[in-house]
Structure 1
Amino acid sequence: MTTILMDLSSAWDVLDGVNLPNGFRVEITDGKIIMTPQGEQQWKVILRAAPQIEQQLAGHGEILSDVMIDFPSSLYGYAPDLAIVAPGSERNKRGRFEWHSLEAVLEIVSLSTRDNDFEKKFRMYAECAIPLYVIIDPSENVCTIHSKPARTGVYTEQETIAFGEDLVLPLEGREIVVKTDGFPRSEG
């Protein structure tokens, strides 16, 4: 399904009142609505990582999965696989969090999302100064932590963690540790 968006306050405005099918991930990239089914590996990573993060946040922030976030563009509407919202953040008048509320975004790549995760989201998240962007890649059995975003659309530092090692997320004034040994692995 492809629809070109006009100049709206939020890319998500075009979907107001639309009943979306369950089991599909919906995002807006370059003004196009993109619907993809959620993959098994993606779901298993979310299922294993989210409870660990939530437990460690202990009321100091929130963890969201596949929830609409308002970005400063009517051409991009992302719903990250996992997003950590900073403590004290408030929802906007639409009832959504905005990009500046995010401390970290974790995306689990698949063949269908690879280009967006490594290029378009990478650029958007850096331009929006999201402190941490983590790409979890089950096909390579690695997590890559991108930090120190620049407004030019790049992260200036990166660290790669192999599945089986602890994924350490340095947040503002605290650290979240995600055990990756239960993440699904590629056999190849």
Structure 2
Amino acid sequence: MTIAPDNARQNASHVYRALRDFLQSMDDTLPGKFEITKEGIVHDMMSPGRQHELTVLHLRKRLERVMPEDIVAHTGGPDVEAALEGIMRHPDVMVIPWADMEGDGSFDPRTLIAAIEVVSRSNPDNDWAGKMRDYPLIGVPVYAIFDPRTATGAVLTDIHPTPDGPRYATRKDFVYGEDVTIADWTISTDDLPRYQD
């Protein structure tokens, strides 16, 4: 049986809506963080540890020192959602204009200036593979990854079309201790926490 593209998109929309409704029904009943990708639900069962959360705090504060007041480095909710693509993600830090935070519902990913992730100790592939695929697909122009496991990271930019869908064309790797530029702002990576064994 052949499914027309419109029917395929409609079926994908129903699946996404069912996954989203399921996650809302599970809100506050299961531990961890849930996100929706093209492959289904990603569940990071471990709550972020101190080094993860301290890294997020350092990044937010360092960015807000160099950004104009009408741009924020937001670390809370709600999620970033592209329902037509069937993707709902929650970046550790969202660089977003203050004005685009107003209103109700999830954030439109096209309003983000950058998404920043601190790699989870329990599920690093979610940040290094899944989000590296999903963020360009939903139109996030800059994706920065900080990895406390290895004291390294990368900034990805320049979305371009590929046979597998939109991908980042430019990747700039860094090691902790170097300055890193995220969108228009450069911050230090000195003294960022590392995961302890």
Answer yes or no: same fold by TM over 0.5: yes
Matched, 1:127 2:137: yes
Q: Output one character per residue of 1:38-78: Cα deviation in whole Å (capped at 9) or x when no partner.
A: 12321121111111222333322222225211123574321
For 1:104 and 1:77, the matched residues in 2 are separated by 16
For 2:62 and 2:18, the matched residues in 1 are separated by 31
For 1:22 and 1:66, the matched residues in 2 are separated by 19
For 1:117 and 1:45, the matched residues in 2 are separated by 15
Q: Output one character per residue of 1:59-112: Cα deviation in whole Å (capped at 9) or x when no partner.
A: 2222222521112357432111111113542556x4321111111111111332
TM-score by length of 2: 0.75
Report which stretch shifted further, 19-28 or 148-157: 19-28
For 2:20 and 2:66, the matched residues in 1 are separated by 30
Matched, 1:76 2:84: no
For 2:14 and 2:112, the matched residues in 1 are separated by 26
Contact 2:19 2:41 in 1 (8 A): no
Larger fraction in helix: 2
- After the TM superposition, which residues 49-68 of structure 1 pair with which residues of structure 2 at under 5 Å, given as runs? 49-67=59-77, 68=79
The AA in structure 1 aligned to 2:170 is E
For 2:145 and 2:160, the matched residues in 1 are separated by 17
Q: 1:108 to 1:114 in 2, by over 3 A?
A: same
Residue in structure 1 matched with residue 40 of structure 2 by the alignment = 31
The AA in structure 2 aligned to 1:72 is A
Residue in structure 2 matched with residue 180 of structure 1 by the alignment = 189
* Residue segments in structure 2 that go unaligned for 5+ positions in a row: 1-12
Q: CA RMSD in A?
A: 2.9
TM-score by length of 1: 0.79
The AA in structure 2 aligned to 1:156 is A
Matched, 1:153 2:166: yes
* Residue segments in structure 1 that go unaligned for 5+ positions in a row: none
Which one of 47, 58, 63 corresponds to residue 57 of structure 2?
A: 47
Larger fraction in strand: 1
Shift of 1:179: 1.6
Residue in structure 2 matched with residue 141 of structure 1 by the alignment = 151
Matched, 1:85 2:85: no
Q: Kindly, what percent of the aligned residue pairs are identical?
A: 22
For 1:125 and 1:98, the matched residues in 2 are separated by 12
Q: Secondary structure at the match of 1:46?
A: helix
Q: Give the total of aligned pairs.
A: 179
Which protein shows a greater Rg?
Answer: 2
Q: Output one character per residue of 1:102-142: Cα deviation in whole Å (capped at 9) or x when no partner.
A: 11111111332211112121111111221111111112211
Q: 1:64 to 1:24 in 2, by over 3 A?
A: farther
Q: Secondary structure at the match of 1:116?
A: helix
Contact 1:26 1:35 in 2 (8 A): yes
Shift of 1:160: 1.1
Report which stretch shifted further, 147-156 or 5-14: 5-14
Matched, 1:100 2:110: yes
For 2:31 and 2:179, the matched residues in 1 are separated by 29
